[in-house]
Structures are given as structure tokens and as C-alpha cells.
Amino acid sequence: MQWHYQLPVPAAFATRPLRDLLKDYLQLPKRLIGDLRRNQRVLVNQRYRPMNTRLQTTDLISLTFQPADFRNPFPQTLLDPQLEIPILYENSDFVIVNKPRGLKTHANQPGESGAVLNGLAAHYAPDPVYIIHRLDQETSGALIFAKSPAAVPILTKMIREKQIQREYLVRVRGQLLAPAGLIKAPIGLDPNDQRKRQVNGPQAQAAVTHYRVLRQTKTSSLLAVRLETGRTHQIRVHLALLGHPIQNDPLYDPDAQAGQAMQLHSWRVQMRTPFFNQPVAVTAPIPPELASP
């Protein structure tokens, strides 16, 4: 099995070296660029050229990736054909799904199934699917998986460097005094509960959250939230720090009601596609618990 790409040269890279196109435009890691160079699997107009070759907009770049280029090109995932995961957008390199609340992103116990990844793996079998990022089990909404191993390091870098903009809808308890704000507080482990995180806990890392109020009632506020960092439980911990926990958060809302949905939803994703740099904007349908006043 191989993965092939044929790409034009964008105007911004005319007269620049081939190496710059691979590194700065395609955002391929150094190791992968080295594999393509050593095995002469990067071609300019169907001929191998050195990495310092100056490009023109009339050139056509051909890339061929092989399984040996990747550490785990064919991950072993249990298939769950009974689990249908709604697809919001897909191309040959990645898919954005609407994760149902209550499902894990991936199984984390040997022999465990019933997670989003298991359902997607069954849908695309025998072709593999690759995890790019995660959502908490009780969080619904837009979630990205790769369909090509060549796209994995690119999408991972885009997530890490915030080139993929993700916005969440959240309903919290109480009314916020400011119409918008920023929460900047390091998040670490909770020494008393391994399931939880806490501000300034052990191994704390910097965490920054932006929010704006969309509407309020006497008892609750609906927020749009954007993350600068991606710490575990970041939105949940930061909003609880303000004294406005997410409604029915089983870990951080002291007034959570058993069996009621935690009101946190991955709402919108804006990004550009790997390799072809096309704009994509996806909105995950708002669940009923957040659509009501």
C-alpha cells in the first residue's frame, strides 16, 4: 500500500527551494522529508530533483509515501460495525465527525470496544483510521481523525500550533459579570482524585481560555469558548475556578444531577486541509440541552 499526492506549486513558493515547500508549506517533519529525499520519492515534473531546486508555479510536485515511512501505519483497532458515527466532513486525508456524548474517543482497556474510533475503524475498514486529538467522554461535537498516515504529523502540528481553530459551546451555572474574558491559570494533577485536574496542582502547565457570553438566564449562561492551550479538562477546570462550573459536570459541578447531560459541545472547527491548503469550516449540530434557553 502507498499514498500518492500530486500538488501544484503555490505562488508564494515560486523561486524558493523544494525543501522549503515540504517544510514550510506542507509542514512535513524533518524525518519524513529525509525519507522522501533518500528514496527519491519526491519528484518535480516526474523527475527527481535535489532539495535545493528552485521551483516555479508551472511545476507539479509528486510525493509517494510508503508504510515504512511511519512508525505505526496500520494500527490494530477493534471494529464495531454496530456503532454509526455521524460524519460532518471528509476527504481522502481526514474526517471530522460529530462525536456523540457518552462515547469515549478511543478505548483505553485491552479488548474494549464501543468508542468512536472503533465505529470509524469499522466504517473505513480495511483502511486504517488515526487519532489526532480527543474529547472527554461526556463532551459531544466535532472531532478530527486522519485517514492517511501522511496527514497525521501535519494535523498533529496544526492542532499543537493552533492552526486549527476550535470553538466550544458551554452552559454554566450563574450569570457572568463580564460579557467576555480570559482565564489564565496553570492546570496540574489533583493529588486527591486521579480522575480530576486542578489549578496549580502537581505538574501544572500553563493554560489559557477565552470566553464570551452568548445569552444568560437568571440561573445560567451560555458561552462560546476558545482555547489557547489544550490541557486535560481545561474548560471544565477554568470555568469551575470562576465559580461557574459547567452544568451537570460530574467532576466539577457540585450541583450536577445524575443522568443529566454535561453541557459542553465542540461546536465549530475552522482549518485548512493538509497538502492542498483548502479552507474548511465545519459546525457540529447543537445538541438539545444547549439549544434550549
Phi-psi group of 199: left, alpha or beta (phi > 0 → left; psi -120 to 50 → alpha; rest → beta): beta
| pLDDT score at 293 | 64
Residue 123's H or E segment, with its range, is helix 116-124
Q: Does any domain span residue 80? A: no
Whether 54 and 184 map to the same domain: the answer is no
With vertex at residue 284, the alpha carbon angle to CA 281 and CA 289, rounded to the nearest 5 degrees, is 150
CATH code of residue 153:
3.30.2350.10
Q: Where are the beta strands (DSSP E) in 147-185?
A: 165-173, 180-184
CATH code of residue 19:
3.10.290.10
* Low pLDDT (below 70) residues in the chain: 293
Q: Kindly report the pTM of this predicted structure.
A: 0.90
Whether 7 and 54 map to the same domain: the answer is yes
104 φ, ψ to 5°? -70, 155
Q: Does any domain span residue 47? A: yes
Whether 131 and 184 map to the same domain: the answer is no
The amino acid at 46: Q
Cα–Cα distance for residue pair 220/227, rounded to 1 Å: 21
Whether 157 and 184 map to the same domain: the answer is no
Whether 276 and 132 map to the same domain: the answer is yes
Residue 24 is a catalytic residue: no
Q: Which of 69, 136, 249, 253 is catalytic?
A: 136
In the structure grid, which three cell numbers stand for residue 126, read together? 480495511
The amino acid at 25: Y
Cα–Cα distance for residue pair 189/195, rounded to 1 Å: 9
| pLDDT score at 140 | 95
Q: Does any domain span residue 202? A: yes
Instruction: Choose one of 42, 69, 96: the last residue of a domain.
Output: 69
Whether 114 and 64 map to the same domain: the answer is no
Whether 9 and 95 map to the same domain: the answer is no
Whether 56 and 110 map to the same domain: the answer is no
In the structure grid, which three cell numbers stand for residue 238, read together? 477554568
Query: Looking at the chain, how many residues does it have?
Result: 293
Number of structural domains (the chain) is: 3
Whether 174 and 246 map to the same domain: the answer is yes
Instruction: Provide the residue range defining the domain that includes 283.
Output: 87-161+269-291
Q: Which of 187, 171, 201 is nearest to 230 (CA)?
A: 187
| pLDDT score at 34 | 93
With vertex at residue 159, the alpha carbon angle to CA 78 and CA 137, rounded to the nearest 5 degrees, is 45
Measured over the CA atoms of residue 12, residue 14, residue 16 and residue 18, the dihedral's sign is positive
Q: Does any domain span residue 77? A: no
Q: Does any domain span residue 137? A: yes
Q: Does any domain span residue 35? A: yes
Query: What are the residues whose beta carbons fall under 8 Å from the beta carbon of 139, sequence distance 6 or more?
Result: 99, 101, 262, 264, 265, 266
Q: Does any domain span residue 79? A: no
Whether 185 and 236 map to the same domain: the answer is yes
Cα–Cα distance for residue pair 133/150, rounded to 1 Å: 16
261 φ, ψ to 5°? -70, 135
Whether 62 and 96 map to the same domain: the answer is no
Q: Does any domain span residue 75? A: no
Q: Is residue 113 a contact partner of residue 80, using CB atoms and an 8 Å limit?
A: yes
Whether 172 and 256 map to the same domain: the answer is yes
